[in-house]
Structure 1
Amino acid sequence: MSDFSFALADYIPTGMPQYNGNPLIECLPKILSDIDVVRRVGNLPAKPDEAERALDPKLRGHGINRLKDVVIPFEIHLRLEDLFSQLIRYGYTGRNPLCASSVRHRLPSSAEIKGHGFMSTAETMTLIGLSGMGKTTALSSIAKLYPQVISHSKYKHRIFIETQVVWLKIECPHDGSLRGFCTAFFSALDAALGVEKYTRRGITGRSISVMLQYISQLCKTYFIGALIIDEMQHLCSSRGGQDRDKLLNFFVTLSNDAGVPLVYVGTNAMLPLFSGVLRNARRAAGMGPISFDRFGEDDPFWAHLVSQLWAYDWTTACAPLTEKLLSRIYDLTQGNTDFLAKLLMLAQRHAIWEDIDSVTPAVLQQVYDNQMRFLHKPIEALRSGDPLQIADFEDMMPTKDQITQMMNYDLARRADRTHLSLITQAAIVPAAETTDKPATKAASRPMVPLAEGAVASVHFAKGEDVQTQLEQRGWVTKDSAW
C-alpha cells in the first residue's frame, strides 16, 4: 500500500490560540458539535420493510445480522468524543514539529541530550465498564472520525514532509507479556502504514528493552496522537506480575518521554492495576474515567435502545413492543447491550426456523432457556443484585461496587495489620512486668484501642461493611478517620 491511500493534510485554523501554528493539529478535522457527533457516530442500517419480510426464510436469516451494525449514540458517546478530541489536540501542543525543542526531542539520541526543552502535554483517558456494554465499539466509532494516517508535504510555503499517525489501537496480549505487547504494537503500526516492515524487525533477535526503546522512538517519528490500549484487564493475569509492572511503568515513560496520550480500555477487572501505585492511579484518572455500566430497568435510555433495535424485525408479522415484552427483555438481559442484541437475534432466528409469526415473551424465554445457557450464571448474578455473586464475574461488577470492594479490602488489611501489632504488644507487656525495673512507657501508642474480647476474632466476614465490623469490635469509633 502506498502513500496515496493516506489522507493529505489540509490545514484549517481551529480558533483556539494554543492550537494555532501547529500543523499536527490544524490538519485534523474540525471540532464537532454534539449534533454532528450524533449524526456521524450513530449508525442505523436500513430497516426491513414488508417486501423484505416476505422473502425466503434463508434470506431473512441473513438480514438479521444487520442488527450487529446498529449503533445508538447516547450522552456517554458525546462525552467520550469530546474528551478524545481534547486528548489528541492537547497532546500535540507540546510536540509542535516547528519548534526547536520538538525537533531535538525526536532525535534518536535525544535521551542523551539534557535540557532540550521538551515538556510532555500528554494526558491519559480511561474507558472502563461491564463486558458487553459497547466500550470498544463506541471508541472505534469515535476514533474513525479522524483519518488514521495523514501525509504532510508543505505547511504555509514551508517544506514539511512527514507522516502522522493520528491514532493507533492495540490489544493487550492475553497473557499480559511484554513481548506480546511489542509484537502487537509493531503489527498495528504496519497495518496503519500499509507496510510489512516493523513487525519483522521487531521480533528478530531483539531484547525486550531494545524493543521498548524502539517503540518509543517510533511514537516520536510518526507523531502518534493517541495510543489506544484495549483489553487492559489481561494485564491482571501476567506472569507473576513482573511483566505487568514493567508494562505499566513503560506506559508512564511513554507518556512522559515520548509525549504520547494514552487511552486505557478494559472491563472493571482492570481496576486493581491502578490501586497500588500512585503514579499509575494518577495517570488513570487524568481526564476522568468514563464508565459504561449496565442500564437500569426504568432508565428511559434503555427503553429507547430496545425500541430502536426492536424495529429490526425480520419475522413475518412484526409485533409491537409492549410493556410485557419490554419487562421480559430486561429480565433476560439485565440491561446489558450485548445480551440484548444476542437475545433479539436468536429469538428472530428461532421464530423463522419454527415458522412462528412473531417474537413473543414465550419465544424469548424459550430462546433464553435453550440457547443462552452459557450466560445464565452471570445474568442470574446480576438479577440477584448480590455483590458476592456478581464478584464471581469481575468484569460484570459495576464500577462503583468494584471500587468500594477495593477500598473495603484495603481497610480490612490495614485493620488486620494493626490488630496483629496489638496482639504482639499484649504478649510483650506481661514479660516486662516480671522484671524488677518498672515498665517503661512505649515509644509509640497503638493506632486503635484494643477492646475486650477483640483478640478472639481477627478476620472479617465477607459481604458485611468493614467499618461496621471495626466499630463492633471496638477497634475504631464512628468518628475515627483512616
Structure 2
Amino acid sequence: MSEKKHQPAVYRPTGLPHYDGNPLIEALPPILSDDDVARMILHSPLKPTEAERSLPAKLRVHGVNRLTDAVIPLEIHLHLEDIFSQLLRHGYTGRHPFHRDTVAMLHASSTEDIRHSGFKSSASTMTLVGLSGMGKTTALNAIARLYPQTIRHAEYAGRPFIQTQVVWLKIECPHDGSLRGFCAAFFAALDEALSVNQYSKLMTTRLNISILLQRIAQLCRSFFIGALIIDELQHLNSARVGNGKETLLNFFVTLSNEAGIPLVYVGTNAMVPLFSGVLRNARRAVGMGVVSFDRFSADDDYWRYLVQRLWEYDWTGSPEPLTTALEDKVYDLTQGNTDFLVKLLTLAQRYVIYEGLPKVSEAILQRVYNEQMRLLHKPIEALRSGDPLQIADFEDMMPAKDQIAQMMNFDTARRARRADLALISNINATSKREKANEPSANPMVPVSKSIDSNIAKEIAESSDLDAALSAEGWIDDKPW
C-alpha cells in the first residue's frame, strides 16, 4: 500500500485563478517541474557490488531479480505526467464542491435531473495506446503514485467540508469484456482505495446491470473521483453478450459528460477499432491527446540510454562493458520492446551464473534467445520484418501471461532439477561407501549396477537427462 494512499487535506494556492479557491484542486500536490517528475518516478534498485558478485551462484541469481524493479524515466513519462496533471485539475474546475450547479448535480436522482441542474462538465479524456510490453501500465502507475489516492477534507476557508476525495481510481477491464465484470472491478477498486469492504457486496445482490452502472455513476460523483483509469480496454473486443460493448462505451461517455469524470483509456492497438464506430466515442477518446507507446528504433537516444542503465545491473563474475556490437545484438533480439529487453537481460545473466561462465556475450544472448525465449519468437519476428500487416497481428502472436511466466521460470526449474540429481546422487554414493565399511547383520540383495559419483556428475550436467540416464541403464523403457 502506498504511503500516499490516504492523506488529510492540506490546501496550497496554485497561483492560477481558475484553480485557486477550489478545495479539490488546492488539496492536490504542487504542480511539478520536469526535474521533479523525473526524480520522483526514478526507481533505481541497489546495483550489485563486487562483494555481491563474489557470492555463490545460488545467492547471486536472487539479485538478478532486482533488475525487473527498475523504473527509468524517459521523455514519454514527462509527457504523460504533464497531460495527466492537466486532465486531473481541469476536470475539477467544473466540479467546485460549493457551487450551486455542482451541488444540484450531486443530489440529482436521475439523468434528467442532472441535465436540468445547470452543471457543465469540464472533464476530458486521454488515451494510452501501444504494443504489449512497452510499459504503458508501469508508466501510468508511476504517474498516479505522485498523487495521494484519497484525501480527507474536514474544513476549508473556515467552513465545514466533510468529504472524502478519491483522486484517481484504476480498474482493469475484465478479460471477457463483460459489463458485470467491469462493475465488479470498479467496486473492488473503490473498496481498496477507501480501505473498506462495502461496495463489493453490491455484486452479491440481484441488481441488474443498469442499476449497477447507475450506482457507479453516483459513487463517481459522490467521491469526486479525479480520474477513472481503465486499463486493458482491448478486452472489450471479447464482449459476447448482446450490445455490452456499446453499452459500456456509451456509459463512459455519459460518465464524462454528465458526472464530469475525466477518463484515461489504456490498451494495446487492438482497442483502437472500439472508438471508430461511434463518432462521439472517437472524439472523446482523443480528448487531451493520445500518448502512443511505440517500440524504440535502434538509433533512438532514449533506447540507448535505457539499455545502458539496465546493463549496469550485472551480477555475473566479470561484467562486460556495453559495446556497440552488444547493443546491436540486444536490439536485434528485442526489437526495441522494453519488456523483451528486461527478459533477455534477466535470462542471460541467470544462464551465465548457473553455468559458471564469466560474462554475458553476444553468443550467450543469442543462445538464450534461441533456447529460452521461443515463445516470443513470432511476435519479435513480426517486429523485425517491419511489415505493417505482420505487426498488426503482434498481439495475437503474444503468448498468454502464464505461458510467459513459465518461460521465465523454466531455466530455474531445469537447473534446480539437475542440481538436485547431482546432490542426491552424491549423497547416495557417499552413503554406499559408508555402509560398505560396516559389518552387515543381514544378507543384502546385490545390485547389478553401482552408482559412481563421476558418472552421476556427468549425468547431472547433461543437457538431456532422460537420454543420459537411459545410456547408463538407470531408465529401462522395455516392457516388464
Q: Normalised by the shorter chain, which TM-score bucket?
A: 0.7 to 0.9
Matched, 1:296 2:297: yes
Q: Is the 8 A contact 2:148 2:167 kept in 1?
A: yes
Q: Deviations over 1:381-411 (max 9, x none)?
A: 11111222223224789xxxxxxxxxxxxxx
Q: Is the 8 A contact 1:268 1:395 kept in 2?
A: no
Counterpart of 1:339 in structure 2: which amino acid?
Answer: F
Supply the distance in 2 between the matched residues of 1:75 and 1:136 (Cα, whole angstroms).
16
> Normalising by structure 1, what TM-score?
0.80
Supply the distance in 2 between the matched residues of 1:386 and 1:121 (Cα, whole angstroms).
41
For residues 319-468 of structure 1, the aligned pairs below 5 Å read 319-394=320-395
Counterpart of 1:202 in structure 2: which amino acid?
Answer: M
Q: Is the 8 A contact 2:132 2:395 kept in 1?
A: no
Supply the distance in 1 between the matched residues of 2:144 and 2:110 (Cα, whole angstroms).
30
Quote the residue 1:248 is aligned against: 249
Supply the distance in 1 between the matched residues of 2:82 and 2:326 (Cα, whole angstroms).
36
Quote the residue 1:103 is aligned against: 103
Q: Deviations over 1:233-287 (max 9, x none)?
A: 1011111661111100000011111110000000011110111110010001111
Quote the residue 1:470 is aligned against: none
Matched, 1:144 2:151: no
Task: Quote how far apart the aligned CAs of 1:115 are.
Answer: 2.6
Matched, 1:259 2:253: no
Matched, 1:16 2:20: no
Supply the distance in 2 between the matched residues of 1:110 and 1:94 (Cα, whole angstroms).
19
Supply the distance in 2 between the matched residues of 1:36 and 1:10 (Cα, whole angstroms).
20
Supply the distance in 1 between the matched residues of 2:359 and 2:35 (Cα, whole angstroms).
35
Q: Is the 8 A contact 2:149 2:166 kept in 1?
A: yes
Q: Deviations over 1:21-54 (max 9, x none)?
A: 1000000000000000000011111111101111
Supply the distance in 2 between the matched residues of 1:93 and 1:391 (Cα, whole angstroms).
40
Supply the distance in 1 between the matched residues of 2:6 and 2:374 (Cα, whole angstroms).
46
Q: Is the 8 A contact 1:267 1:395 kept in 2?
A: no
Quote the residue 2:41 is aligned against: 41
Supply the distance in 2 between the matched residues of 1:34 and 1:339 (Cα, whole angstroms).
28
SS in 1 for 2:360: coil
Quote the residue 1:153 is aligned against: 154
Give the number of equivalent residue pairs.
395
Quote the residue 1:69 is aligned against: 69
Task: Quote how far apart the aligned CAs of 1:6 are.
Answer: 2.2
Q: Is the 8 A contact 1:130 1:294 kept in 2?
A: yes
Q: Is the 8 A contact 1:130 1:395 kept in 2?
A: no
SS in 2 for 1:359: coil
Task: Quote how far apart the aligned CAs of 1:5 are.
Answer: 7.0
Quote the residue 1:122 is aligned against: 123
For residues 225-240 of structure 1, the aligned pairs below 5 Å read 225-239=226-240
Q: Deviations over 1:41-92 (max 9, x none)?
A: 1111111110111112111111111111111111111110000000010000
Supply the distance in 2 between the matched residues of 1:26 and 1:142 (Cα, whole angstroms).
19
* Greater CA drift, 229-238 or 199-208: 199-208
* Greater CA drift, 237-246 or 183-192: 237-246
Counterpart of 2:333 in structure 1: which amino acid?
Answer: L
Q: Is the 8 A contact 1:130 1:396 kept in 2?
A: no
SS in 1 for 2:73: coil
SS in 1 for 2:202: helix
Counterpart of 1:61 in structure 2: which amino acid?
Answer: V
Q: 1:280 to 1:107 in 2, by over 3 A?
A: same
Matched, 1:56 2:56: yes
Supply the distance in 2 between the matched residues of 1:115 and 1:247 (Cα, whole angstroms).
24
Q: 1:391 to 1:5 in 2, by over 3 A?
A: closer
Q: Is the 8 A contact 1:231 1:267 kept in 2?
A: yes
Supply the distance in 2 between the matched residues of 1:109 and 1:336 (Cα, whole angstroms).
48
Q: Deviations over 1:427-457 (max 9, x none)?
A: xxxxxxxxxxxxxxxxxxxxxxxxxxxxxxx
Which ranges of structure 2 fall in alignment gaps of 5 or more residues?
A: 399-480
Supply the distance in 2 between the matched residues of 1:363 and 1:335 (Cα, whole angstroms).
19
Q: Is the 8 A contact 1:131 1:395 kept in 2?
A: no
Supply the distance in 2 between the matched residues of 1:141 and 1:365 (Cα, whole angstroms).
32
Quote the residue 2:425 is aligned against: none
Q: 1:362 to 1:120 in 2, by over 3 A?
A: same
Supply the distance in 1 between the matched residues of 2:204 and 2:261 (Cα, whole angstroms).
23
Q: Is the 8 A contact 1:269 1:395 kept in 2?
A: no
Supply the distance in 2 between the matched residues of 1:173 and 1:366 (Cα, whole angstroms).
37
Supply the distance in 2 between the matched residues of 1:201 and 1:240 (Cα, whole angstroms).
21
SS in 2 for 1:239: coil
Counterpart of 2:149 in structure 1: which amino acid?
Answer: Q
Which ranges of structure 1 fall in alignment gaps of 5 or more residues?
A: 398-482
SS in 2 for 1:276: coil
Task: Quote how far apart the aligned CAs of 1:179 are.
Answer: 0.4
Q: 1:394 to 1:62 in 2, by over 3 A?
A: closer
Counterpart of 1:184 in structure 2: which amino acid?
Answer: A
Quote the residue 1:279 is aligned against: 280
Q: Is the 8 A contact 1:12 1:26 kept in 2?
A: yes
SS in 2 for 1:297: coil
Q: Is the 8 A contact 1:125 1:287 kept in 2?
A: yes
Supply the distance in 1 between the matched residues of 2:397 and 2:31 (Cα, whole angstroms).
34
SS in 1 for 2:122: coil
Counterpart of 2:171 in structure 1: which amino acid?
Answer: I
Quote the residue 1:475 is aligned against: none
Supply the distance in 1 between the matched residues of 2:78 and 2:5 (Cα, whole angstroms).
29
Q: Deviations over 1:200-245 (max 9, x none)?
A: 1233111000000000000011000000000011011111661111
* Greater CA drift, 59-68 or 338-347: 59-68
Q: Deviations over 1:295-328 (max 9, x none)?
A: 1011111111100000000001111001111111
Supply the distance in 2 between the matched residues of 1:153 and 1:351 (Cα, whole angstroms).
58
> Normalising by structure 2, what TM-score?
0.80
Quote the residue 2:85 is aligned against: 85
Task: Quote how far apart the aligned CAs of 1:121 are.
Answer: 0.5
